[in-house]
Amino acid sequence: MECFQFSDKVNHIQAGIFAELNRKKEELLWKGKRVYNLSIGTPDFQPAPHIMKAMEDACKDPENYKYSIEDLPQLIEAVQYRYINRFGVELEKDEIMSVYGSQEGMSHIGMVFCNPGESILVPNPGYPLFETSGMMAGAKIETYKLEEKNGYLPDLKSIPKDVLKRTKYMIVSYPLNPVCVCAPDEFYEELIAFAKEHQIIILHDNAYSDIIYTRKQGRSFLSFAGAKEVGVEFYSLSKTYNLTGARISFVVGNREIVKKFKTLRSQIDYGIFLPIQYAAIAALTGPDDFVEKQRQDYEARNKALCGGLRKIGWEVPDSQGTMFVWAKIPKGYRSSFDFCMKLMEETGLIVTPGSAFGSEGEGYVRMALVINEQQIEELLKVLDESGMFR
């Protein structure tokens, strides 16, 4: 039988570093070695009881297993409630839509804007999905550098004018995975003016505004004047409410973008499973004290891990936000991948090489704050005894 001929688009997709890390993890476990997996950002916290109860009750109603087609009116109102109370942002009902998680929404929204050959701008280093957003639309992927010397903020003035002319949209995300920094207010003001000047749409991925350590609360892109004129924001319930498997997020902001995106998605799916919508309503309108408690727990882990690593000889700065830590690899290693493999073999600690997030991520690794302080102390002892950081 002749080989199947697959599309250039799918052939471009690689299995990725996570598959290799998982293979190595299974090998270590088979050998009976203790493994500390800080490679993937799956929260180890549980959803709040009132959210799970809402899901449970909705699952008992047979009517909720039918096509949902559209978002429940109560769900749209719940998003309005959350945005005005949490961010001080007023949203109209036609400025809100749900998606099956930001990953699914981001991967499809490029088709709303781009014709084949047009360009998008994504951060380097950045979350790999951002590139997928353009790839699915047949767009050319252009990157803007995020460098430590600039506080991992883009130098907007350095982006070539010919790139700006053909760019349809730019993806921005702060606090930013993987580099774990927050952006000052003046950056957003500059970004909105930049978008207007060059007629570029801004897509802001707001996954971690409730996991931030540099101020009491993170902000929404839409809380800045003019933001709705130039773009939309993805607001995920995955990390704030520990609903990663439920797959629900929202696209909010510019009503024309929301309307056109709804039209596209009407040809893709039949709406979010109703019990998940009811769980989201409970999350968005219910008590919020556990969100702050969880943020404090992440912050304690952040200080314990980064501070502990510095004590044993690995200079790792505290994360400013997200559920991750971004660290420069110690001297003496050829690449972040080589360091990760050595670290895994010697200590059982699994982290993600920065090169998985783009060329500018080489020389760094990302660690997820998914173990508690007691486990962190245990891990630090193992790392110190390995002698890798002396």
Domains of the chain: 8-46+289-386 (3.90.1150.10), 49-285 (3.40.640.10)
Distance between start and end Cα atoms, the chain: 57
What is the pLDDT at residue 384?
A: 97
Give the distance, in angstroms, between the CA of residue 377 and the centroid of all CA atoms in the same chain.
27
Q: Using CA atoms, how far apart are residues 306 and 314, in angstroms rounded to an integer?
A: 9
What is the pLDDT at residue 1?
A: 47
User: What pTM value is reported for the model?
Assistant: 0.95
What is the pLDDT at residue 293?
A: 96
Q: Using CA atoms, how far apart are residues 231 and 126, in angstroms rounded to an integer?
A: 19
pLDDT digits (tens, 9 = 90+) for 331-346: 999 999 999 999 999 9
Residue 321 DSSP one-character state: B
**Token pair for residue 238?**
């995955």
Q: How far is CA 372 from CA 193, 369, 376, in A?
A: 42, 8, 6
Spatial contact of 246 and 229, defined as CB atoms under 8 Å apart: no
Which residues share a beta bridge with 36? 349
What is the pLDDT at residue 20?
A: 77
What is the pLDDT at residue 2?
A: 62
Q: Using CA atoms, how far apart are residues 281 and 286, in angstroms rounded to an integer?
A: 8
Q: Using CA atoms, how far apart are residues 40 and 238, in angstroms rounded to an integer?
A: 14
Q: Which helix (H) or strand (E) holds 23?
A: helix 17-30
Q: How far is CA 301 from CA 46, 145, 178, 221, 317, in A?
A: 17, 29, 17, 27, 13
In this prediction, the residues of the chain whose per-residue pLDDT falls under 70 are 1-2, 13-16
Q: Using CA atoms, how far apart are residues 270 and 215, in angstroms rounded to an integer?
A: 40
**Rg (alpha carbons) of the chain, rounded to whole number:** 21
Q: Which of 327, 332, 334 is nearest to 309 (CA)?
A: 327
Q: Using CA atoms, how far apart are residues 301 and 100, in angstroms rounded to an integer?
A: 30
**Token pair for residue 18?**
């996570």
C-alpha triplet 336, 337, 339: angle, nearest 5°: 65
